Amino acid sequence: MAKYVFGVDIGGTTVKIGLFSVEGELLSKWEITTRTDEGGRYILEDIAKSVTEKMEAENIAKEDVKGVGMGVPGPVREDGTVIKCVNLGWGIFNAAEELSKLLGGLPVKAGNDANMAALGEFWMGGGKGYLNQVMVTLGTGVGGGIILNGKMLAGVNGAGGEIGHMQIDDDETEVCGCGKTGCLEQYASATGIVRITKRELNNTDKPSKLRNIPYISAKEIFDAAKEGDELATKMAEEHGRRLGYALAQVACVVDPEVFVIGGGVSRAGDILIENTKKYFTQYAFHACRKTEFKLATLGNDAGMYGGACSVLS
């Protein structure tokens, strides 16, 4: 019986790798550089090398390893096919099969990184114990991952759970990174809340301690809100309204037990959950109004956990 499993989370600058017990204990973790030159052709080779070295160092035989699961920053089909991954320079190919070959046939699963993070939180994090959940990752962008009956919803085009690009405002004039306007990401991400706060600071002359900060971040907005700054409070509320509104629409589609909120912005904590829940309750279809909200607990390790979990399920 295999005792170990590897979880890999490929980012634009570093690849996080974790060695787990099949029970879900993170035994050790490390990082390697993401070599994006030459169309990212060395990334999988580097991962295979690093995993192999670890196995040798820890005296782990191939038959002791259940497999390797990896999260990729782009759309991935259920069979492991990556459909372009701009940050890595990748085109369309089956990354799971490729890494498996490099690892001498070890089973490999691949998925979108936000979906993998959702699976990680489901397995060992804030969503543990809930079979049906939607995770939202509020970082530079807004990622989403959907777990139904304990399985990840990859989507036919690898766009399952791409809730950051649901349109929630029809009057937005600025363009989202995806080319559309009014996407959730433009309001609920770290850059999103900064964007709407700057807009508010420019359009009004309300006093605010944020006016004295040269480079405003999401953290500073939520911190100022917690300290009672009126303009920051309004912005935190607006953030919760936008997110609560979008999740109310998501609930009409997949009707989950719980929403798990993660990513850097979620460090704001209770204030974010309370605001989001308040507006979700207001906007949601009556049958879904009591859906729970939880904070993610695995932080930046969620993707690795999810990778590991994907091999086990």
Query: How far apart are CB 120 and a second copy at their closest, in Å?
Result: 20
Q: Kindly indicate which of the ranges 28-36, 89-97, 160-168, 200-208 contains the residues binding a second copy, using the contact rule CB under 8 A.
A: 160-168
Q: Among 36, 167, 297, 300, which residue interacts with a second copy (rule: CB under 8 A)?
A: 167
Q: Among 104, 105, 179, 214, which residue interacts with a second copy (rule: CB under 8 A)?
A: 179
Task: Give the containing element (helix H, strand E) for 86.
Answer: none
Query: How far apart are CB 285 and a second copy at their closest, in Å?
Result: 4
Alpha carbons 179 and 11: distance in angstroms, whole number: 22
Query: How far apart are CB 250 and a second copy at their closest, in Å?
Result: 6
The answer to the question of residue 93 lying near a second copy (CB under 8 A) is no
Q: Among 253, 274, 299, 313, which residue interacts with a second copy (rule: CB under 8 A)?
A: 253
Q: Among 170, 203, 205, 270, which residue interacts with a second copy (rule: CB under 8 A)?
A: 170
Two tokens, residue 266: 């979620």
Query: How far apart are CB 83 and a second copy at their closest, in Å?
Result: 7
Residue pair 164/189 in contact (Cβ under 8 Å)? The answer is yes
Residue pair 137/184 in contact (Cβ under 8 Å)? The answer is no
The answer to the question of residue 94 lying near a second copy (CB under 8 A) is no
# binding residues, a second copy (CB under 8 A) = 42
Alpha carbons 243 and 136: distance in angstroms, whole number: 10
The answer to the question of residue 153 lying near a second copy (CB under 8 A) is yes
Nearest to 148 by CA among 160, 166, 156, 139: 160
Query: How far apart are CB 246 and a second copy at their closest, in Å?
Result: 9
Q: Kindly indicate which of the ranges 40-48, 187-195, 252-260, 269-277 contains the residues binding a second copy, using the contact rule CB under 8 A.
A: 252-260
Query: How far apart are CB 272 and a second copy at their closest, in Å?
Result: 21
Nearest to 236 by CA among 209, 274, 287: 274
Alpha carbons 260 and 265: distance in angstroms, whole number: 13
Cross-strand bridge partners of residue 183 = 167
The answer to the question of residue 186 lying near a second copy (CB under 8 A) is no
Cβ atoms within 10 Å of 34's Cβ, excluding its own:
20
Nearest to 263 by CA among 153, 162, 126, 143: 143
Location of structure tokens 């029809």: 170
Interface residues toward a second copy, by CB under 8 A:
75, 83, 132, 144, 146, 148, 153-163, 165-167, 170, 178-180, 245, 248-257, 283, 285-288, 290-291
